[in-house]
Structure 1
Amino acid sequence: PTFCFACLMCNMLLLLAICTLRDKENLSDCTDEFKLHGDYIIGGLFPVHYATKGLYLKYKPDAVDCQEKGLKLPFYKRGYMHLQALRFAVEEINNSSSLLPSITLGYDLFDDCYEAAGIMATFSFLSANLESNVKIQKDYISYQSKVIAVIGPMVSDTAVTTSSILSYFMVPQISYTASTEALSNKRIFQSFLRSFPSGKHQAQAMVLLLKKFQWNWIIVVGSDTEYGRSGKQSIVQLAAENGICVAYHKSISDTGSKITDDITEVINVSIKQNVKVILIFSEVPLASGFFKEIIKSNIIGRVWIGSSVWATDRSIYDMTKTGSIGTVFGIAAQPGRMDGFDFFVTKALYDQSKWINDSTMGICNKFCEECKSLVPEDFINIPEKRESFRVYSAVHAVAHSLHQLLDCDSGSCQKSVYFPWQLLEKVKQVNFSLHDKLINFDERGEVPTGYDVVLWNWTTGEPSFDTIGEYSARLKSINIHSGLIDWHTEGNTIPVSVCSEDCLPGQKRKQAGPYICCFYCLTCPEGTYINKSNLYECQPCDKDQWAPEGSPLCYQRTVEYLSWTIDVSIALISISTIGLFLTVGVGIIFIINRDTPVVKAAGGKLCLPMLTSLTCCFCSIYFFIGKPSLVTCILRQLLFPVSYTACLSCLLLRSFQIMCIFKMAARLPVSFDYWVKHNGQYMFICIVTAIQVFLCSFWIGIGNNEPLFVYRFKDAIVLKCGEYTALAIISEVAYTGLLSALCFIFSYTGEELPKNYNEAKCITFTMLIYFISVICYFMFDKAQSERNSTMWMVICILARLYGVLGGYYFPKCYVILFKPMQNTTAFFQACLQDYNNRKSSI
């Protein structure tokens, strides 16, 4: 509601008009149960009866009579208990020798009928002592009203009305159940306080309970009152903030003609949309009417969550005592110790004949005919006493404030004249412990205690509201003891109330309709995952991570390189080592047999640099294994190409020399002699090798030799050297390919030479292996997008090296070791003689 100064002035004029016309006699003879004289009077508003019709039926500004022209109204046991709690607190304080010594408290109590009848009581509270009206004054700083503070009312609507008046006079008002959030606005309700957290905390507790059991598809029903509307609005707002969808919400009036239709509509929505959890934020009348319709419609298996006003109401409990409606939770006031309260109520009921008097009927609303028939058993150990402690603590808060205001610390109080606004400042500052309960008001005028979460238990035979959890207003957290809950389901399983079932891991939600809780599921593509912080978007993995399709998380990519410990590396190292030993073995054999015709025919002294180059080539394999570094990457680019080029140059030179000896020496004797005399063969090897050294150095100089990470593979990161640019590979292959082609040509040119000097087959085999290995490298490297390029490079290198060993040296070693008769000068001369005979015959 919106309030302004003009509204307050209207209230004041109304107050003045009514108060001056009030009949003083009507208030003078009210019963002692409702009134007690004292040095300081506390006013109280309690709903001892239910009002069965609201102000919307009024046609004249007459006083609201709780007896409704003599008709009997429903007796409200909870309100009566609260009234007795105030009387008990006052008696306890008056009997205390330390809290207010030599001071007595009195009270002036009214039955507000759970309605706006409290307005008349408010006028009475504000009247001056021994006066029946409120005079119009410039200000009311020095005005002393009949009461120093007001406890109540119970209903938020009444509290809004009464507080807008009391706040103008700065009379402290402490409510025990009026929880609407609007009353926390201190710009309007300056003197309003409450001995409990506001309704927003109730809503917070309900939402936390929903989150605890993962219910996100709910219905919220509120009464069409300030309490119900404010509570419903808070739930809807908090639900949206916490990802909970409200399938339907409505404010229902408990006095309107459409109440049955409204409740039926709620039931139909619950069935049609399969909503299993329904929250009811209302006063007792609406909750009672609601459950009557629920039972009539045979709605079962639901979860009901009630606000504090009806969370422990016995009348509704008795109505639903079969438990067939499902599971009922309530957000209830936390109880506190009130030692001697039961005895006090028992004594009060036995003494009631002294204060029941029919002559007290009137607009004072201080009459309780039902009290004549009450017995102590109606009030002993009943759940309604939870909220009575709030009344009890509110009275003690006023007493502690008076203790400070009257300077009672010395053992006696100064009976001075003080005004309500002075007491209000002290009330806001109180901080004391009441039976282990800390009582103090925060900046919103609330005592930030908390709530209990209660479960209705129908198995004991007696009304039982079991505490299964607690909500802390200070921490805004809830603690639920799930093991204590009977769900009234098969297997005692937790009921499910969701619009859509959760997606499988690795699937994202796609909202269907206006509710975020209603969705269908889509599988996240490869390379993405679903993060719990955002269930509606698939998040891409980090650069060094990967995820398969439909993955709930990302995995670290494996960094791949030819590690020393993997099987492939071990195999390659083994093959390279064997080749190295074979090369050394061949060298030893050739050194031992260096003067034999086979060794001389193979190249003689040229075999040593050729075998040395092969040895370096096999050693270069070790730089391809292990984690790449700058040094190993440079050595990879330099050692093998240069060594292999030196080997090919020796092989090319040998092919060229044989051809020259048999075909060109006779034709160009001077040139051949010059070649031999000036060591042309060694110059040739150096020049050919130097060209390769230049090419390798050039590419090393302009290229990036640092190891690089290749991220193009979905599940791995390939760590490789940055040497293999397209131009570098092409230049190396082109150069060695040219040497191999020349070698191939020279060997075929001399295919008709003597058998012992004919290297055509050996060199052809060697060159064939070379070309096949190069082609295979490019094929496999392209097919696997360079993922195993280093491995294929090593295999290609080994194939070339074994091609040279197997094609050129092994046949000669075979002759040396196993056919020594062919390794003689006579055998070679016979072969030359045979060659010359064939040549002369041609």
Structure 2
Amino acid sequence: MLLTSLDFRAFQFSQSLIYAIEEINNNSSLLPGISLGYKIYDSCSSTAIGVRMAMALVNGNENAVLDEPCTKPAQVQAIVGETYSSVSMAICLSSKQKYPSFLRTIPSDYYQSRALAEMVKYFGWTWVGAIRRDDDYGNSGMAAFIEAAEQLGICLEYTLPFFRTYSQEKVLRIIEQIKSSTSRVIVGFVDTWDLEILVQAFFEHNVTGYQWVGTEAWIFDLELATADKYSILQGAIGLSIPNTTVTGLKEFILDIHPLKSAGSDIFTRFWEALFKCKYKIQNDSDDTTVCTGQEKLSEVENTFTDMSLMPIFTNVYKAVYAVAHTLHDLFEHLKRVHFQTKEGEEVYFDKNGDPPAKYEIINWQKNKEHQHEFVNVGFYDSSFPARNRLAVNMTSVVWVPVSVCSESCPPGTRKAVQKGKPICCFDCIPCAEGEINGIKCTQCHQDYWSNPSRDKCIKKETEFLSYEETMGILLTAVSIIGAFITLVIAIMFFRYKNTPIVRANNSELSFLLLFSLSLCFLCSLTFIGRPSEWSCVLRHTAFGITFVLCISCVLGKTIVVLMAFRATLPGSNVMKWFGPPQQRLSVLAFTLIQVLICVLWLTTSPPFPYNNMHYYKDKIILECHLGSTIGFWAVLGYIGLLALLCFILAFLARKLPDNFNEAKFITFSMLIFCAVWITFIPAYVSSPGKFTVAVEIFAILASSFGLLFCIFLPKCYIIILKPEKNTKKQIMGKVLAKVGHSSKLATHKILFKGLDASE
């Protein structure tokens, strides 16, 4: 009976170790005068046997029975361990507290798990399933993969344990669960023997169309890829140990002629299994081929002649050299070793005794002859910066599905996790105004607002009454026209200053009133344009002071009219108390009170530029904050008080003689003035944005035009169109008639002396 249970891969590993030892022993520069020896034991992939053999090697009791205590001194200085994690405990052995003397030449599966997660994320697969070998290798590796996947936003729909000894019932349950799933990607943390059984089950139940992602344990297995039923794995992609070679190693592995191992029963048995022959035929009926010892390996194609695992054999080679270099460096700590192989590859270990994790990314593809090929499409190197660790040539990759639980949310929406499902399963909900999409809707900065598609924050539009817009242009034009008309009237009054109509209307107060009205028109311009510190201070103080100056002049004129006609009564001497000096003093006193209010306002809490973001959500209103609202309303209140006093006095003087109707005109002007500013208050409070400023400018212009036209337009009419009425006789006619003959002369003098301060 032929011996067919020999593991050819194990022989390849053994040959790699022997080659490295012989090469070191023949190297005069490394460990000169010292020869390395070796003992090789088969763990049979059993954890118990592996531990027993390791303890036997350390204590020299490899031939002892199981119950004999390990008491002999150590016979070996280093052990090159098992390739399987279940035997070597590859994951937890990185703990230096528990295993201070353990090092590895192949990266820990912890790094492979993270590299797999990053690769899955790279391809956009956020909804995947996983099958793990039900032992330390699979369970520990999958735990590390799940941890990394969660950090990268990948969700696992399922993670199923599997072992080659599982019953058909268990395998069937696994198949049914995979068929009922919605993910199209399967991460296989298994070895080749497990995958053979799984693929057979997939083939029998016609489970196809899945993208397989594999570990280095099976992704580069040629035997696994060649059978027809393994087309189920077509397009598989995974991590592989970098394809490095050692000069002469391949030839040494294949050079196992039994003549070089005479007397070695294991090589004889190996030769028989390799060529399917026997050296000794026990009976003639046995149709087995007789071994001649001259069989050629070139005529054989099996796992022993397959050198696809050369990168793993190289790790055995490096392990032996690591030990040799450590001994050469006076047995320093092995983890401090840093050397280069003869091929130029650097070998060193980190603080955990791990080498840098380097993998090639392998993709299963078919060539033109429909033969399987393992195509290198990228790499993973943990020694690189995080953003550069994974590199994939996307144009070279062949894979099947897109695997997501929910499609990516379109711009302007956010993810809302579906109740009872993983975070990769979500609904897309539109972002609110002022927010943009992402993992969560993010509020834009207060100076920004979301665009209509909710995928970008754009600068908020600013609003203020500008000189460039239509309303600003119109108000500016009206302001300038008002100031120009005022100037024209002033020039006209100066030209006719010696005529009765001008002299009888107190020319000094008239010119001062015209000057203050021109300032009122011009101060409205400070309300237009982008608010600044100086404009905010100037607009309110200039407005308050110029209007008080204006109303003070009108109030002075009203008092003069009343006093003049009171002085016509017999024995009255009131005009000496309100002559020209008193008129000037009253105007100055009234104005100084407003100046004092403005100074207090600016000292305590002055107006300042303010970006109002509360009225509109998508717009910023540039305005002048009042600072102290008490100061603002004190300024307005004082203007209103003077205007009301002026209106009352003018109303009392409304029945003066018709030809001298100054009091009536003042009454009309004050009526307009008060009406404008009474309606201004609710309009000012309720107007939004730049319209607040427009309302204030309109109130200034309307009240200024009211004063200008009511007080000066009738006089301009007489000066220009009715010059015949611009005489003392016409002005004093009805006045003298009403006051009586005995007081005519006195009235005439009082009117022209009282009303004209220049005389």
- TM-score w.r.t. the length of structure 2 is 0.81
- Equivalents in 2 of 1:679, 1:189: separation in Å? 109
Q: Indicate which of 423, 444, 454 corresponds to 1:516.
A: 423
- Equivalents in 1 of 2:601, 2:55: separation in Å? 102
Letter in 1 for 2:19: F
Q: Indicate which of 258, 268, 277 corresponds to 2:185.
A: 277
CA deviations 1:303-325 (Å, max 9, x no partner) are 22111111111233224688565
Secondary structure of 2:103's aligned partner: strand
Q: Indicate which of 709, 723, 726 corresponds to 1:824.
A: 726
Given the superposition, is the C-alpha separation of residues 325 and 625 from structure 1 closer, same or farther in structure 2, using an over 3 Å criterion?
A: same
Q: Indicate which of 463, 466, 470 corresponds to 2:375.
A: 466
Given the superposition, is the C-alpha separation of residues 654 and 108 from structure 1 closer, same or farther in structure 2, using an over 3 Å criterion?
A: same
Letter in 2 for 1:674: K
Q: How does 1:762-777 map to 2 (within 5 A)?
A: 762-763=665-666, 766-767=669-670, 769-777=672-680
Would you say the 8 A contact 1:506–1:551 is kept in 2?
yes
- Equivalents in 2 of 1:603, 1:555: separation in Å? 61
Letter in 1 for 2:348: N
Secondary structure of 1:250's aligned partner: strand
Letter in 1 for 2:379: E
Q: Which residue of 2 aligns with 1:318?
A: 226
- Report the CA distance between 1:617 and its aligned residue: 2.4
- Report the CA distance between 1:480 and its aligned residue: 2.1
CA deviations 1:505-531 (Å, max 9, x no partner) are 35353563252333334444445556x
CA deviations 1:511-553 (Å, max 9, x no partner) are 63252333334444445556x5xx34x5555555555898456
- Equivalents in 2 of 1:808, 1:76: separation in Å? 120
- Equivalents in 1 of 2:490, 2:605: separation in Å? 37
Q: Which residue of 1 aligns with 2:142?
A: 232
Secondary structure of 2:164's aligned partner: coil
Would you say the 8 A contact 2:16–2:313 is kept in 1?
yes
Q: Indicate which of 314, 318, 324 corresponds to 1:399.
A: 324
Match status 1:334 vs 2:242: yes
Q: How does 1:586-665 map to 2 (within 5 A)?
A: 586-625=489-528, 632-658=535-561, 664-665=566-567
Would you say the 8 A contact 2:245–2:310 is kept in 1?
no
Given the superposition, is the C-alpha separation of residues 109 and 558 from structure 1 closer, same or farther in structure 2, using an over 3 Å criterion?
A: same
Secondary structure of 1:194's aligned partner: coil
Q: Which residue of 2 aligns with 1:797?
A: 700
- Equivalents in 2 of 1:742, 1:347: separation in Å? 124
CA deviations 1:261-319 (Å, max 9, x no partner) are 24314413xx43x2122211111111222223333444444322111111111233224
Q: How does 1:665-676 map to 2 (within 5 A)?
A: 665-667=567-569, 670-675=572-577
Q: How does 1:418-437 map to 2 (within 5 A)?
A: 425=332, 427-434=334-341, 435-437=343-345
Would you say the 8 A contact 1:524–1:549 is kept in 2?
no
Would you say the 8 A contact 1:529–1:554 is kept in 2?
yes
Would you say the 8 A contact 1:302–1:327 is kept in 2?
no
Would you say the 8 A contact 2:297–2:305 is kept in 1?
no
Given the superposition, is the C-alpha separation of residues 553 and 760 from structure 1 closer, same or farther in structure 2, using an over 3 Å criterion?
A: farther
Letter in 2 for 1:153: E
- Report the CA distance between 1:778 and its aligned residue: 2.8
Match status 1:442 vs 2:353: no
- Equivalents in 1 of 2:581, 2:683: separation in Å? 43
Q: Which residue of 1 aligns with 2:757?
A: none
CA deviations 1:210-230 (Å, max 9, x no partner) are 222333222222111211111
Q: How does 1:465-544 map to 2 (within 5 A)?
A: 465-475=374-384, 477=386, 478-488=389-399, 495-499=402-406, 501-502=408-409, 504-505=411-412, 507=414, 509-510=416-417, 512-513=419-420, 515-526=422-433, 535-536=439-440
The farther-off stretch of 495-504 and 463-472 is 495-504
The farther-off stretch of 202-211 and 552-561 is 552-561
Q: Which residue of 1 aligns with 2:744?
A: none
- Report the CA distance between 1:600 and its aligned residue: 3.2
Secondary structure of 1:446's aligned partner: coil
Q: Which residue of 1 aligns with 2:178?
A: 267
- Report the CA distance between 1:392 and its aligned residue: 1.9
- Equivalents in 1 of 2:297, 2:709: separation in Å? 116
Given the superposition, is the C-alpha separation of residues 458 and 277 from structure 1 closer, same or farther in structure 2, using an over 3 Å criterion?
A: same
- Equivalents in 2 of 1:488, 1:159: separation in Å? 34
Would you say the 8 A contact 2:235–2:399 is kept in 1?
yes
Match status 1:375 vs 2:297: yes
Q: Which residue of 2 aligns with 1:686?
A: 588
Identify unmatched segments of 5+ residues in structure 2: 277-295, 741-759
Secondary structure of 1:330's aligned partner: strand
Would you say the 8 A contact 1:637–1:700 is kept in 2?
no
Letter in 2 for 1:464: E
CA deviations 1:634-662 (Å, max 9, x no partner) are 4444332222122123223434544665x
- Equivalents in 2 of 1:571, 1:755: separation in Å? 38
- Report the CA distance between 1:471 and its aligned residue: 1.6
Q: Which residue of 1 aligns with 2:164?
A: 254
Q: How does 1:350-389 map to 2 (within 5 A)?
A: 351-352=257-258, 360=266, 367=270, 369-372=272-275, 375-376=297-298, 378=302, 382-389=307-314
RMSD (Å) for aligned C-alpha atoms: 4.1
- Report the CA distance between 1:621 and its aligned residue: 3.5
- Equivalents in 2 of 1:89, 1:81: separation in Å? 13
- Report the CA distance between 1:231 and its aligned residue: 0.6
Given the superposition, is the C-alpha separation of residues 821 and 266 from structure 1 closer, same or farther in structure 2, using an over 3 Å criterion?
A: same
- TM-score w.r.t. the length of structure 1 is 0.73
- Report the CA distance between 1:232 and its aligned residue: 1.1
Would you say the 8 A contact 2:475–2:697 is kept in 1?
yes
Q: Which residue of 2 aligns with 1:153?
A: 82
Secondary structure of 2:211's aligned partner: strand
Letter in 2 for 1:252: F
Given the superposition, is the C-alpha separation of residues 795 and 125 from structure 1 closer, same or farther in structure 2, using an over 3 Å criterion?
A: same
Q: Indicate which of 210, 215, 227 corresponds to 1:302.
A: 210
Secondary structure of 1:471's aligned partner: strand
- Report the CA distance between 1:394 and its aligned residue: 1.6
